[in-house]
């Protein structure tokens, strides 16, 4: 096997220039658990251009050998055994380096400048997997050290602010150094294959788009439910909560892709312009309305699978007096020509009874039920887009049960993406990092999207503070507060799992 500077010599299709990929927070959990395994997978499949280097920046005192030992220790946990091939891994390690640097100290950036020798061919990507409070300091120091030019790219991890004012401040400070076209605000949900398949379903198939509107869609659910608690993120999560941590970014982005108009072309600004229009069309939730159209919950202690799960306020790093929500359900309305009259129900929670992320489009019932005298149940068609744990698409159709009479039962047309495409599935970070290297920002979030989302979220927070200060408790291992069921049932609807159980 031939290597050029430790990188496989095969030039991948559509490859970018050689890259100096710099990770601030290179010894942190995100880098070791997600970014390094993703980069290794891209390397192993010859998708990194020859000459590419990986430079990890952190305050830890590690030479290159010690850093590579740390990478291997964590890779054996987070990279599957079948993909952890010793020859590939040893070659990958040769492109990995560590630079000890305190990101808050501008004078230390000379060490990074020395490590990033300018060969005139490589471009630089700076991935800030660090505290957002450091973003402006890092950007200014990179600029002052002469490490930024017109080809440099910057990747920002969430959270991008904690409210509209802080998000505007982050965007403003970063924009002093980088143009918008150079900034990649990452939301890993947008890198998931089923999320991108949502666009393919809508805009690549003539059977769905004519029906994708209020005239034919009864209601839509978007759920991201987790069985885990806050784990080791208690300190951060207690300042954030489910609304800021999940709804403001992941769920609103999924809502945008579900509700957006067809872009003129599948290119970055055309797609993001349509997403922005959805955010601008969201009906405000403010004041006393939050009591009617939102549910704010917090899990309490319960026995789950034979073990006692502590209440949220007993988790490590969480205040004993905490009123932070771990569950949110919202009734959202999009005031535009396509969707007026069709409610969107958003839901996310921790310590739920099962882990799943899905989008469910409930179509309206048939105009005239000719089988109503046969005892057949009234079941409307549903399109279920499964994001995790399994990736797939399921269309529920009413079909005749074999035998006498015309009794109907819903049966699925089921597309399992793993079965349909028998190849290794890219994880979200692989897709998104590859897009960064190629300069494609279609699946990244623009500054105006971030700020518009926060302008919709902030009144909900204010309404909670004034009218809904204490979350409704729900047992760990349940599907959330009973009020979440009431939220959707008062409109005559049910959550998808309840419908599935009934049928």
Cβ–Cβ under 8 Å, residues 95 and 54: yes
400-437: burial string, b at 16+ Cβ within 10 Å, e else: eeeeeeeebebeeeebeeeeeeeeeebbbbbbbbbbbb
Cβ–Cβ under 8 Å, residues 328 and 349: yes
For residue 362, indicate whether it is catalytic.
no
Cβ–Cβ under 8 Å, residues 454 and 161: yes
Cβ–Cβ under 8 Å, residues 128 and 154: yes
Q: Where are the beta strands (DSSP E) in 15-152?
A: 19-24, 53-58, 96-100, 123-128
Among the options 98, 250, 362, 496, which is catalytic? 250
Tally Cβ neighbours within 10 Å of residue 18: 19
The rounded Cα 173 to chain-centroid distance in angstroms is 24
Cβ–Cβ under 8 Å, residues 292 and 332: no
Q: Is 24 helix (H, G, I), strand (E, B) or coil?
A: strand
Among candidates 156, 31, 37, 26, which has minimal Cα distance to 100?
26
Active site residues: 250
């Amino acid at each position: 096997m031939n290597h050029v500077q430790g990188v496989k010599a095969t030039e991948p299709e559509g490859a970018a220039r050689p890259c100096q990929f710099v990770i601030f927070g290179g010894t942190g959990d995100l880098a070791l658990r997600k970014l390094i395994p993703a980069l290794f997978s891209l390397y192993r499949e010859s998708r990194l251009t020859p000459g590419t280097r990986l430079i990890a920046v952190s305050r830890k005192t590690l030479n290159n050998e010690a850093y590579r030992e740390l990478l291997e220790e964590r890779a054996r946990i987070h990279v599957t055994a079948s993909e952890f091939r010793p020859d590939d891994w040893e070659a990958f390690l040769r492109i990995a380096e560590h630079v000890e640097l305190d990101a808050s100290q501008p004078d230390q950036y000379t060490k990074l400048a020395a490590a990033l020798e300018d060969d005139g061919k490589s471009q630089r990507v700076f991935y800030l997997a660090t505290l957002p409070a450091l973003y402006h300091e890092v950007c200014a120091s990179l600029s002052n050290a002469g490490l930024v030019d017109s080809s440099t790219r910057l990747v920002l991890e969430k959270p991008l602010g904690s409210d509209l004012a802080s998000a505007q401040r982050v965007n403003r400070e970063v924009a002093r150094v980088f143009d918008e076209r150079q900034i990649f605000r990452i939301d890993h949900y947008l890198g998931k294959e089923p999320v991108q398949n949502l666009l393919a379903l809508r805009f690549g198939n003539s059977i769905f788009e004519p029906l994708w509107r209020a005239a034919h869609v009864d209601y839509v659910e978007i759920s991201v439910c987790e069985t885990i608690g806050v784990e080791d993120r208690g300190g951060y999560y207690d300042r954030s909560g489910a609304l800021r941590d999940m709804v403001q970014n992941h769920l609103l982005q999924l809502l945008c892709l579900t509700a957006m108009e067809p872009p003129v072309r599948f290119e970055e600004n055309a797609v993001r312009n349509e997403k922005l229009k959805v955010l601008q069309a969201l009906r405000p939730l403010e004041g006393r309305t939050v009591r009617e159209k939102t549910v704010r919950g917090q899990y309490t202690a319960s026995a789950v699978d034979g073990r006692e799960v502590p209440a949220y306020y007993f988790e490590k790093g969480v205040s004993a007096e905490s009123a932070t929500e771990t569950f949110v359900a919202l009734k959202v309305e999009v005031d535009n020509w396509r969707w007026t009259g069709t409610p969107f129900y958003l839901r996310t929670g921790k310590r739920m009874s099962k882990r799943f992320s899905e989008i469910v489009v409930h179509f309206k019932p048939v105009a005239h039920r000719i089988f109503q005298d046969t005892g057949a149940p009234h079941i409307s068609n549903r399109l279920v887009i499964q994001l995790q744990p399994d990736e797939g698409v399921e269309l529920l159709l009413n079909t005749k049960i074999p035998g006498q009479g015309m009794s109907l039962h819903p049966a699925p047309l089921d597309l399992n993406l793993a079965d349909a495409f028998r190849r290794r599935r890219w994880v979200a970070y692989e897709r998104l990092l590859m897009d960064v290297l190629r300069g494609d920002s279609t699946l990244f979030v623009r500054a105006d999207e971030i700020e518009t989302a926060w302008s919709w979220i902030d009144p909900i927070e204010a309404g909670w503070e004034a009218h809904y200060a204490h979350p409704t408790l729900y047992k760990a291992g349940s599907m959330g507060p009973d009020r979440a069921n009431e939220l959707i049932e008062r409109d005559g609807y049910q959550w998808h799992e309840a419908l599935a159980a009934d049928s």
